[in-house]
């Protein structure tokens, strides 16, 4: 970066909170918990698949609504708001742009299929994004929650630990049943089962479909997430073909 380029950082990340003390550069901090962030979200309310909150910045306040839920999406919106301010955009234009945001086809697309709430995240997967997606599943009002989670690829030596932690987060999210898919996800299923979750581990697509048919009922919330190459979106399309049409 050039010497006069501004830096925008998350004040709630302990790895970034003290960067201002270590480098000589203009820094704009955003956050939720930090009282020192110049751009801060307050009064966060999630309902009906959307999140409303206030953004406090430089003594002013703007009301924001984004058509997704999850704390991580509030951080994303704050980062975007901060970029807009830094680029000289009018705050009302930034807020209007946030309202028009739509997740791409495989990033938190929440829809209804045969009375089931299906939340699809099949573009990519990492331990952090798995944890965030599970927090969204936990927040949904459905009485029963099902997770169909596949392998996270390209984690290198952190793969087993990442999958095992994900199994623990499945339990923390109050998931009723876990369908784990792929060789790396065996550790995920094992960790979830150790914490009392009804977990199964599948090696083939047909096994996955078998357990989806067995576990998922009308009224359930279903999270579907894995690395893109696991092909979970194709599995969903096969499952959808079996559902009543119309």
Over residues 188-200, the pLDDT tens digits come to 999 999 999 999 9
Non-local CB neighbours of 170 within 8 Å, separated by 6+ positions = 134, 147, 149, 178, 188, 191, 192, 195, 197, 199
pLDDT tens sequence across 150-176? 999 888 888 999 999 999 999 999 999
Q: What is the pLDDT along the chain (246 residues), one digit of tens a residue?
A: 887 888 999 999 999 988 888 888 889 999 999 988 999 999 998 877 788 999 999 999 999 988 887 888 899 899 999 999 999 999 888 888 766 666 554 454 555 555 666 666 556 788 988 998 898 888 888 889 999 999 998 888 889 999 999 999 999 999 999 999 999 999 999 999 999 999 999 999 999 999 998 898 888 888 988 888 888 888 878 877 776 654
Joined together, the tokens standing for residue 11 give 């004040």
Q: Determine the Cα–Cα distance for residues 94 and 83; give it in Å rounded to an integer.
A: 9
């Amino acid at each position: 970066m050039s010497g006069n380029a501004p830096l925008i950082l998350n004040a709630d990340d302990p790895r970034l909170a003290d960067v201002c003390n270590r480098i000589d550069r203009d820094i704009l901090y955003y956050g939720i918990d930090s009282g020192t962030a110049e751009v801060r979200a307050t009064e966060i309310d999630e309902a009906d698949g959307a999140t409303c909150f206030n953004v406090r910045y430089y003594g002013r306040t703007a009301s924001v609504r984004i058509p997704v839920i999850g704390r991580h999406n509030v951080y994303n919106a704050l980062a975007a708001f901060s970029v807009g301010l830094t680029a000289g955009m009018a705050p009302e234009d930034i807020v209007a742009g946030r309202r028009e945001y739509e997740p791409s086809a495989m990033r938190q697309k929440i829809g209804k299929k045969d009375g089931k709430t299906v939340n699809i995240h099949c573009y990519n997967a990492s331990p952090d994004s798995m944890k965030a997606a599970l927090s969204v599943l936990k927040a949904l009002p459905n009485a029963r929650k099902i997770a169909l989670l596949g392998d996270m690829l390209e984690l290198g030596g952190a793969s087993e630990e990442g999958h095992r932690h994900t199994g623990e987060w499945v339990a923390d999210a109050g998931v009723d049943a876990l369908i784990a898919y792929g060789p790396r996800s065996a550790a995920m299923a094992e960790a979830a089962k150790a914490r009392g979750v009804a977990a199964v581990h599948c090696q083939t697509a047909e096994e996955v479909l078998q357990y989806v048919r067995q576990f998922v009922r009308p009224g359930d919330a279903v999270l579907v997430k894995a690395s893109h190459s696991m092909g979970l979106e194709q599995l969903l399309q096969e499952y959808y073909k079996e559902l009543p049409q119309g």
